[in-house]
Amino acid sequence: MATKAAFKRLTREYQNIQKNPPPFIIAHPSETNILEWHYILTGPPGTPYENGQYWGTLMFPPEYPFAPPAIRMHTPSGRFQPSTRLCLSISDFHPKSFNPAWEVSTILIGLLSFMTSEEMTTGSVSATESERRVLAARSRWWNSTGGGSHSSATPGVTKTTKGINNVKAGDGGLKFRTEWPELDQENWAWMKEHRIDISTGQILPDPNAPTKCSPETSALRRRPNGSAPGIGAVMEGGHVAREAGQSWARRNRVWIGLAVLFGYALLSRLVSDVQG
C-alpha cells in the first residue's frame, strides 16, 4: 500500500504526464494500485525499433519518491529480456543513486534512451538490427494476443489480470487488454487490415493476389541449360565451329610448318643483305 506521500506524488505525476506526455511515451497507473504503472514506448524513427509498440511496467515501492521502481518491459524487443527486472541507475537495482526529484517521465525518458543505445546490463540481450525490426513489426500482435495464445489455452497457464511481474506469452493478451483497451482495439483492427495470422503473427496470403508469376518473372527464374531450342542451337554451333577449326589445323599442319620455315629464311636473307 502506498504511503500518503507516494500517493500524492504519483497522482500529481499522472496529471503532469497526461498534460505533457514525453515524445514516444504514454503511461498511467493501474486502476487498482497506484504503485503499478503501465507504459508504452513507441519505437522512434531511424532506430531498429521504429513504430514498435513496447509495453512495460514500473512497480513503485511504498516509500517512493525516496526509492526507485522496478522496471520491466514485457514486449519482446531484441533489447531486453521480456518481463525481466532491468538493472539501470533509475531502477531498484541502484536505490542509492536514485534522485527523489526524478519523476515518472524522467524514468521513462531514461529507459527509452538506454533502449536505443547498445550499452549492456542485467536484463539486456544482444540481437541484430534485422531481428529487432522483425520484433518491432510483430509487437502489436504480441501485445494483443499474448504471443499467439489468444485463441488457444496454454497448458499450466491460467488467464488472469493479477500480477504483472511475469507477463509473458500465454495470457492471451488479457493483461494488455485490461490496461490498454483502446490500444488493443486498434491493434486488432491493424491485424485485420494487414491480414495477420492471430496464432503465428505471420502475414496470411492475399486471396485476391495472382497465384501465378508473370511470364517475365518466370523467364527470369529459369536458368539457361541448353535445353531450349535457341540456346541449344547456339551452343551446338559453337562446338561445330571449334571442331572445324581444329580439323583444318590438323589437315594442314605440314604446309603451316613449311610456311613458317620459308618466312624465317626470307627474313634472315633480308637482314644479311641490309648488313652487307
Cis peptide bond N-terminal to 82, omega within 30: no
Q: Which domain holds residue 230?
A: 226-275
Check residue 157 and give its pLDDT.
Answer: 45
Q: Give residues with Cβ within 8 angstroms of 144, minimum separation 6.
A: 150, 173, 176, 177, 184, 187, 188, 191
Q: Could you confirm whether 213 is annotated as catalytic?
A: no
Measuring CA to CA, which residue among 172, 81, 79 is closest to residue 128? 79
Q: Where residue 98 sits, what CATH number does that domain have? A: 3.10.110.10
Is pLDDT at 66 greater than 50 in this prediction?
Answer: yes
Q: Examine residue 169 and state whether it is found in any structural domain, yes or no.
A: yes
In angstroms, the CA 77 to CA 133 distance is 9
pLDDT single digits (tens) 216-225? 334 323 443 4
**In this structure, are residues 4 and 13 in contact, taking their beta carbons and an 8 Å threshold?**
no
What integer is the mean pLDDT of 178-187? 97
Give this prediction's pTM: 0.72
Q: Give residues with Cβ within 8 angstroms of 139, minimum separation 6.
A: 52, 53, 54, 75, 76, 77
Whole-number average pLDDT of the chain: 81
Mark whether 230 and 187 lie in a shared domain.
no
Q: How many domains does the chain have?
A: 2
Q: Examine residue 205 and state whether it is found in any structural domain, yes or no.
A: no
CA 246 remoteness from chain centre? 60
Is pLDDT at 147 greater than 80 in this prediction?
Answer: yes
Mark whether 119 and 248 lie in a shared domain.
no
Is pLDDT at 270 greater than 50 in this prediction?
Answer: yes
Is pLDDT at 71 greater than 50 in this prediction?
Answer: yes
Q: Examine residue 43 and state whether it is found in any structural domain, yes or no.
A: yes
Mark whether 231 and 188 lie in a shared domain.
no
The lowest-confidence range among 8-22, 29-43, 228-242 is 228-242
Q: Examine residue 66 and state whether it is found in any structural domain, yes or no.
A: yes
Mark whether 44 and 151 lie in a shared domain.
yes
Please identify, among 193, 217, 250, the residue that sits at the C-terminal boundary of a domain. 193
Q: Examine residue 221 and state whether it is found in any structural domain, yes or no.
A: no
Q: Which of 25, 26, 59, 87 is catalytic?
A: 87
What integer is the mean pLDDT of 126-150? 94
The band of 254, judged by pLDDT with boundaries at 50, 70 and 90, is low
Of 260 and 163, the structure prediction assigns the larger pLDDT to: 260
Strand partners, 56: 39, 73
What integer is the mean pLDDT of 206-211? 68
Check residue 102 and give its pLDDT.
Answer: 96
Mark whether 163 and 270 lie in a shared domain.
no
What integer is the mean pLDDT of 17-22? 96
